Amino acid sequence: MADKNPSRLNTSLKPTKKAHTTRAADAAPPRSARGTRSPHPPAKKVVPPIVIHDWATKHKSIKVEYATERGVSIVSKSEDVLSGRTGAALRGQVQLVFSSPPFPLNRKKKYGNLEGSNFKKWLRGYAKKLKELLTEDGSIVIEMGNAWVPQKPIMSTLAIETLLEFKRAAKLHLIQEFIWFNPARLPTPAQWVTVNRMRVKDAFTRLWWMSPTEYPKADNRRVLVPYSGSMKTLLKNQRYNSGTRPSEHVISPTSFLTDNGGAIPPNVLMLESEEETAPSNVLVGANTNGVDGYHKFCKSRGLKPHPARMPIGLAKFFINLCTEAGDLVLDPFGGSNTTGAAAEELMRRWITVEINEQYAAAGRGRFPHLVAQVPPIPDELKNAALPVTAEA
């Protein structure tokens, strides 16, 4: 659920007294020459938040495709929006950059991916620009798919190299790596998986959570998942096998007897469908749902749906983890505007930028109150709708 209080609270996790035996991971941080290193982040400067709609209308170079109560969808090259006066007005305002840039595949896709080293250079160019937009405790989360060496049954390290160069270019910290497992991914690369049967299908993407500070704003209590059946039984019976584990961790008789409202999720993410809104214990995401509101809207209006959509629950997970109500979320590669829809529902302000006009227009299907703005076209005219153009 979204936070009810729109105020900007400091949600940095604070250490609490442990009722159980202290483990190595719970020990106090090491002392430096200047004394004990504090686990608390430095005091945060308060920057007056911009009014998004005023920002968008003030800069005449910005073409707004549509706007909602909390955000705007912009049709433009993202580098143009992030540069000059428009970008300068956003500096220090963004709490979370969440995006999935066109993957570094080894062949061209309709949504405009670059290839090979050109992709690495292109994304690296965004690193400093995006960092400048962040608040002092802001975060950048980038989803990146895998790539294979052309005509060879071996994987390319391009995705990892690209993320590393992005991180280094902006001098960011890697806060945590996440894996999104998609069980419905097609068995690719087909030559090596289904024809020669030499490899298994590639079914995951990685997400890097980065920040210019070691202590970005975050609270895992906003992304708790339901307890497992065994944990529910444990809480009901109030007993379990305590003592020393094979890992040498010492578990006291009371370590796990408190009901905290849910379990802390792992960094392997699972969602069952494109519309699922909350993670399970492992967040699996299958993008095979063709009957959601967005897809219906595109079909009834003769619009081509974006071919590389992510589950909305994936965006919600990181928006909940890294922001609070009222914070600003930016997606510079908006696509079908999954990020904007998630932010709107969770009471966050948002800005998304998409270069392809049809993809941007189709994003209205993510917002029920905007659907009526675009009446359905007659069936006999649907086949005459303009084909989607490739992203420049």
Q: Mind spelling out the 3-state secondary structure of 337-387?
A: CHHHHHHHHCCCEEEEEECCHHHHHHHHHHCHHHHCCCCCCCHHHHCCCCC
Most confident of 41-45, 110-114, 190-194: 190-194
Between 146 and 108, the higher pLDDT residue: 146
Q: What backbone phi and psi angles, to 5 degrees, belong to 152? A: -135, 145
Dihedral sign from CA coordinates of 128, 329, 214, 248: negative
Inter-residue contact 207 to 231 (CB < 8 Å)? no
- pLDDT band (50, 70, 90) for residue 293: confident
User: For residue range 50-67, what is the model confidence (pLDDT) as tens digits?
Assistant: 899 999 988 888 999 999
> 274 is written with which tokens?
């494109």
Inter-residue contact 262 to 227 (CB < 8 Å)? yes
- Please return the burial class of 159, using the count of CB atoms within 10 Å of its CB with bins 0-12, 13-18 and 19+: buried
- pLDDT band (50, 70, 90) for residue 267: very high
Q: Measured between alpha carbons, how far is 239 from 246 in angstroms, rounded to an integer? A: 20
Q: Measured between alpha carbons, how far is 212 from 217 in angstroms, rounded to an integer? A: 11
- For range 332-341, the mean pLDDT: 94
Between 317 and 117, the higher pLDDT residue: 317
Q: Measured between alpha carbons, how far is 269 from 166 in angstroms, rounded to an integer? A: 23
Q: Measured between alpha carbons, how far is 263 from 252 in angstroms, rounded to an integer? A: 19
Write down the pLDDT at residue 104. 58
Considering the domain 52-171+292-382 in this protein, what is its CATH number? 3.40.50.150
Mean pLDDT of all residues in the chain? 81
- For range 222-229, the mean pLDDT: 91
- pLDDT band (50, 70, 90) for residue 103: low
Show me where the domains of the chain are located.
52-171+292-382
> What's this model's pTM, rounded to 2 decimal places?
0.79
Inter-residue contact 269 to 181 (CB < 8 Å)? yes
Q: Measured between alpha carbons, how far is 37 from 337 in angstroms, rounded to an integer? A: 41
Say how many C-beta atoms besides its own lie within 10 A of residue 211's C-beta: 24
Write down the pLDDT at residue 288. 52
Q: Residue 43 corresponds to which amino acid?
A: A
Shortest CA distance to 203 belongs to which of 180, 237, 219, 224? 180
The kind and range of the H/E element at 99 are strand 94-99
Please state which of the ranges 151-160, 262-271, 317-326, 377-386 shows the lowest mean pLDDT.
377-386
Inter-residue contact 305 to 342 (CB < 8 Å)? no
Assign 196 to helix, strand or coil. coil
Asked whether the predicted pLDDT for residue 344 surpasses 60, the reply is yes
Say how many C-beta atoms besides its own lie within 10 A of residue 82's C-beta: 20
Dihedral sign from CA coordinates of 371, 373, 378, 382: negative
- Please return the burial class of 341, using the count of CB atoms within 10 Å of its CB with bins 0-12, 13-18 and 19+: buried
Between 257 and 314, the higher pLDDT residue: 314
- pLDDT band (50, 70, 90) for residue 287: low
Asked whether the predicted pLDDT for residue 225 surpasses 80, the reply is yes
